[in-house]
Structure 1
Amino acid sequence: MKLIFLLFLGIHGVTAVTHSLKYFYTASSGVSGFPEYVSVGLVDDVQISHCDSITKRNVPKQDWMTAATAEDPQYWDRNTQTCVGNQQSFKAGVQILKQRFNQTGGIHLYQEMVGCEWDDETGEVKGFNQYGYDGDDLVVFDLKTTSWVAPKQQGVITKHKWDKNKANTDYWISYLSQICPEWLKKYVAYGKSSLQRTELPSVSLLQKSASSPVSCHATGFYPNGADLFWRRDGDEIHEGVVKGEVLPNNDGTFQMSADLKLSDTPEEWGRYECVFQLSGVKDDLITKLEKRRLRGNGSGSDFPVAAVVGVLVGILVLAGVVAGGVFYWKKGNHGFKRTNTSDTSSSSREDPDSKKEDNEKQTMMGANC
Structure 2
Amino acid sequence: MKAIQGKAGWILLLAAAIAFPLLVPNSYFLSVMTLAFITAIATLGLNLLTGYTGQLNLAHGGFMAIGAYTLGILTVDHQMPFWLAFVLAPVVCMVLGYVVGVVSLRLKGHYFSIFTLCVGYIIYLLIEKWESLTHGAVGLIGIPVPAAVGPLAFDNVQGQYYLVLGFLAAGTFVMHRIVSSLLGRSFLAVRNSDALAEALGINLMRTKVLSFVLSVGYAGLAGALYAGQVRFLGPDIARTDITFDMVMSMLVGGTGTLLGPLLGAVLVPWVTQTLQFLQDYRMLVFGPVLILLIIFVPDGIVGTFLKRQARRAAAQRRGQLAAGRPAQPAPVATTRPGAENA
Identify the TM-score tier after normalising by the shorter chain.
Answer: under 0.3
Which has a greater percent of strand? 1
Higher helix share: 2
Higher RCO (CA < 8 A, seq sep 6+): 2
Instruction: Give the structure-1-normalised TM-score.
Output: 0.20
TM-score when normalising by structure 2? 0.21
